[in-house]
Copies of this chain bind each other. A is one copy, B any other.
Amino acid sequence: MGWAKVAETVCPSARTLAVVGDRWTMLILRELFLGVKRFEEFQVQTGMSSNLLSTRLKRLEADGIIARRLYSKRPARHEYRLTEKGLDLYPLMLSLKAWGEKWGGLKRGAAPALSIVHKTCGHETGFQLRCGSCDAPFGAKDAVVTIGPAFAAERQKRRKSA
């Protein structure tokens, strides 16, 4: 089963993965969140081939996650920036960062690769997941997951056709 097929689902997580679940794409997104805008720098910092990078950028643009702007006419050169849809991937980026800091096998006590300071309060920000309802800190063990009717039907169908 390919991803075009996987993406035909009511599961929002799988649908996100169909768009940005490729790790090279996520590496480009990291660069964009770091403020990198230009092809050459994406290429240098990700180590991707020009072809591979070009394909990924086109896909991100087609998906409305980045927008392209001409900044030089001769030669024609483009800059890339995150759209609102792209900026909304920020929690995803932060959660990659947070997990890597804890479990990524980095040297203990080493200075962090980057600091994220909250503009408003001026302090280094960790990142807290909160229940959107009662506001308490929230983790996997605090959750009761119930699969809804459409997703349940989809899952049952897969079982039957297996």
Within 8 A of B (CB), among A19-62: 19, 21-23, 26-27, 30, 33-35, 40, 43-48
Interface residue tally for chain A (C-beta within 8 Å): 97
Chain B residues near A48: list those with CB within 8 A: 1
Q: Which chain B residue shows the least CB distance to A23?
A: B21
Cα(A106)–Cα(B13), bound, Å: 11
Chain B residues near A114: list those with CB within 8 A: 11, 145-148, 151
Whether A10 touches B113, Cβ cut-off 8 Å, given contacts A17-B96, A145-B34, is: yes
Measured between C-beta atoms, what is the minimum distance from A114 to chain B in Å? 5
Within 8 A of B (CB), among A53-101: 82, 85, 87-101
Measured between C-beta atoms, what is the minimum distance from A78 to chain B in Å? 19
Q: CB < 8 Å: which of B100, B120, B138 contacts A16?
A: B100
Whether A85 touches B103, Cβ cut-off 8 Å, given contacts A44-B162, A128-B129, is: yes
Chain B residues near A146: list those with CB within 8 A: 114-115, 117
Within 8 A of B (CB), among A94-126: 94-106, 110-121, 123-126
Contact A104 B158 (CB under 8 A): no
Cα(A49)–Cα(B62), bound, Å: 30
Whether A13 touches B30, Cβ cut-off 8 Å, given contacts A112-B148, A131-B118, is: yes
